[in-house]
Amino acid sequence: MTPSQISIAIQWLIVSLFVAVLCLAQYQLATTRSQLTQALADKSTLQTDADNLADSLRKSNADKAALAAESEQLALQLQQVSLQKAELMGRHHALKNQLNQLLQDTTDEDAKAWRDAPVPNDVVRLLSHAADCAQRARLHDSVCVAARSTDARVPSDPSATARDPVPTDSANFVPSQPILSRVDAVSHR
């Protein structure tokens, strides 16, 4: 090979090397641009997510503050209800004591007869049960719910016709429970 051919080969080699370096740089530039575009898209998505989370956190904090205020209000209402209940219980006991005292101190013969009339324990228990069922706390009691419904029926007793009637003469007296007077029944509750 002649020196001019060697010089041309070296020039071609340098140009080829330069083109290869230029192509490699172009590829790296395209790859970097692609990565930059992806990073910008990821940044936009992350920023949107961060904004959504910030809004959610603000709403959550507002809800938390509202719930705290509502909790304080409910606590105050509960305290007021407790005070009213204590006041009503005090008034109830005072009126009950006043009623018992009026019944004890009466001079009216009809009131004395009514006061001293015996009240069977079954009647006292029935009235007490009705008063218990009237309370809100007992609304889910199955006995109270069945008694409260308008379509509840009294169960029929098929053996009722086979039983002996209640005796009416004094020789066959029916045993009874202890009898309370009306005053005892009122103070018993």
pLDDT digits (tens, 9 = 90+) for 121-142: 888 888 888 877 777 666 666 6
pLDDT digits (tens, 9 = 90+) for 27-66: 999 999 999 999 999 999 999 999 999 999 999 999 999 9
Phi first, then psi, for residue 179 (nearest 5°) are -105, 135
Would you list the DSSP string of 43-105? HHHHHHHHHHHHHHHHHHHHHHHHHHHHHHHHHHHHHHHHHHHHHHHHHHHHHHHHHHHHHHH
Instruction: Read off the pLDDT band of 167 (50, 70, 90).
Output: very low
Q: What is the pTM of this model?
A: 0.43
Structure letter (DSSP) for residue 160: G
Q: What does each C-alpha distance from 81 to 67, 85, 91, 95, 138 come to in angstroms?
A: 20, 6, 15, 20, 19
What is the model's pLDDT at position 132? 78
How many whole angstroms separate alpha carbon 142 and alpha carbon 53? 49
Report domain extents, the chain. 108-148+178-189
